[in-house]
Amino acid sequence: MDKGGVPQIVYQIGMVTVVAIAVGAAASLAAIGFVDAVHYLNERLLISPYARIQADDRPGLVAAATLLVPTVGGLVVGLVVHFLVREKRGLAPPDAILAAQTSSPAPGLRSSLASTLAALVSLGSGASVGQYGPLVYLGAMFGNLAGRLRLNLRHQRSIAIACGVAAAISTAFNAPIAGLVFAHEVILRHYSLRAFAPVTVAAATGYVIANVIFDRPPLFLVNFGSVEHSYEFVFFALEGVLCAGLAWGFMLLLRFSDKAARYYIAPVWARPAAAGLIVGLVALWIPEVLGIGQETLRFATIEGAFGIGELALIIVAKLALTALCVGFGFVGGVFSPALLIGILFGAFYGLVLPYIAPVPHSGLVVYAICGMMALASSVIGAPLTTILIVFELTRSYDLTIAAMVAVVFANLISYRVIGRSLFDLQLRARGFDLSLGRDKAILETYRIRAYLSDNVTTADEGETIGDVRQRLIDDHRSEAMILNGGGKLLGVVRLQGIVNSQASIPVLEKAIPAYTTFNEDTSVWQSMEMLRGFLGEAVPLVDRNGRLMGVVPEEAVIRAYLEIVHDLREEENEAA
């Protein structure tokens, strides 16, 4: 190693550690502030069960708040998103994934702050959306800001974004290992040591701030001994399969809700208010559908807290209203609702199971936790993360193994039916398809026009074979592009096709009728696909009007592919 390399390595290690701590601390403090602000609004606006019980002597006020708060909150959300967010939608984990995976510009600070405000109002006013999606993007926002600094660090933006996300999840769940794995499993999609080390530091920073400095309470507390009967693992596997079906139904509802919003309500800004009104009407009958539902989640693991019919009613209502709120434009995630619906379904499954299989069971808790993690992992596409959340929150090896079985079987089914996750489906709708691998998705974001060359031989449509043949010989090229007076490409003529032709024949008569062309939007991946069976030295690239802009040599297409793939492999396997 040369002497100049040692200071550079020391600088990179030191600087990336500073960035990880700074981004992790900022994301953690912001996540704590966001969650506390949501709780404050829920208390003040009579959304939380505790606040509603405190106001039980004023039923008229409670009923009015139940109807008006989600409706007015929806109107505020619609106006904020419509006028302040440039993308005209709430920013979410898919935006963090896209920013980490590509070099395209991330949403601006104004849009990010406005989207966070809209998420705060959504959650504070009782919309049936989740808080973890906004927290993930909040962490990604700090990472993106750090990525703009000129620190001379390789892959600075993607690593900083992963650091922010890891710290946010670590803070939210008091689960640093789960935060670390989530950032790699969902955001980065690889485990290089260059990223692994700083993301670990950021996740640990978030945990220290949340658990040591602020002593945040855990998401839930359970008391579980062990799985008492080996045959129950069959029941856990079956529960996972059922949760995969539930996740599939949830995805269908989300798609239907989005279409219904577009069809029935023309003003985009008014859609969240309509969803809020429906939430309020249902909440008059089933108040558990309001907000994040953390109290309901905690009660779900308690024997006798809910009956079978009550659980079924809440599951259906929460499933439908979450799809409604997300589809109609409330800003929030789906992780929290998936956790709540999953734990309620698990409890329902645990109560119904003795009637179907009248054999001894290990109690309600294990089935509730299995359902929660199986459904959540199918929706967000993070099976390792959800398994680790169980272990870090419960410290129960037996409970983790049971949940692991349910998660594995849920993902085996859901991956084939709905894809890896809701996030990937949303990205696919935007043209970034990760279903066939990270390589293809990223290659689709690079345009082959970046490799355009103007070293091309052209011919006028009125020229003869003799003129063009001599020009090709002089230029040492084997093909010419035939253009009209306006520069529009009319055809391609190759030297081997005219070498023995009469010199007086118009060149257009010898033009190849079918030939490969690129346009301004052709990606590197598409260009490689289009080269199948291609014969020639270069592919013409035309604009939207068919005018020739230049050519892309076959060698340049292959070089583009190899350079991008090499960078990806280097990123995925770098050690420091």
Same domain for 448 and 433: no
Q: Is 7 helix (H, G, I), strand (E, B) or coil?
A: helix
Same domain for 84 and 152: yes
pLDDT at 2: 46
> What digits encode the pLDDT tens for the residues 176-187?
999 999 999 999
Same domain for 181 and 281: no
Q: Measure the CA dihedral 527/532/535/537, to 10°.
A: 30
Last residue of a domain, one of 437, 461, 491: 437
pLDDT at 364 over 80: yes
Residue 206 forms part of a structural domain: yes
Could you tell me the CATH number of the domain that includes residue 153?
1.10.3080.10
Residue 571 forms part of a structural domain: no
Indicate left, alpha or beta for 107 from its phi (over 0: left) and psi (-120 to 50: alpha). Answer: beta
> What digits encode the pLDDT tens for the residues 185-204?
999 988 888 889 999 999 99
Residue 224 forms part of a structural domain: no
Burial of 419 (0-12, 13-18, 19+ CB in 10 A): middle
Token representation of residue 28: 């953690």
Residue 18 forms part of a structural domain: yes
Which band of pLDDT confidence, cut at 50, 70 and 90, is reported for residue 3?
Answer: very low
Same domain for 432 and 454: no
Last residue of a domain, one of 213, 240, 265: 213
Which band of pLDDT confidence, cut at 50, 70 and 90, is reported for residue 1?
Answer: very low
Could you tell me the CATH number of the domain that includes residue 456?
3.10.580.10
Same domain for 454 and 332: no
- Residues 491 and 322: their CA atoms lie apart, in Å, by 55
pLDDT at 576 over 80: no
Same domain for 454 and 430: no
Last residue of a domain, one of 148, 179, 213: 213
| Side-by-side strand order, sheet with 548-553 | 518-519, 538-542, 548-553
> What digits encode the pLDDT tens for the residues 238-295?
999 999 999 999 999 999 999 999 999 999 999 999 999 999 999 999 999 999 888 8
Same domain for 239 and 161: no
Residue 573 forms part of a structural domain: no
Same domain for 287 and 402: yes
Same domain for 139 and 61: yes
How many domains is the chain built from? Answer: 3
Name the percent of the chain lying above pLDDT 70.
Answer: 99
Paired with 541 in beta bridges are 518, 550
What pTM, to 2 d.p., does this model score? 0.87
Token representation of residue 313: 């009613």
Host domain of residue 507: 443-565
Same domain for 495 and 433: no
> What digits encode the pLDDT tens for the residues 140-177?
999 999 999 988 888 899 999 999 999 999 999 989 99
Same domain for 340 and 398: yes
Residue 325 forms part of a structural domain: yes
Q: DSSP state, 92?
A: -
**8 Å CB contact between 275 and 74:** yes
Same domain for 249 and 191: no
Closest-CA residue to 482 (of 454, 512, 503): 512
Indicate left, alpha or beta for 132 from its phi (over 0: left) and psi (-120 to 50: alpha). Answer: alpha
How many residues would you count in the chain? 576
Q: DSSP state, 186?
A: I
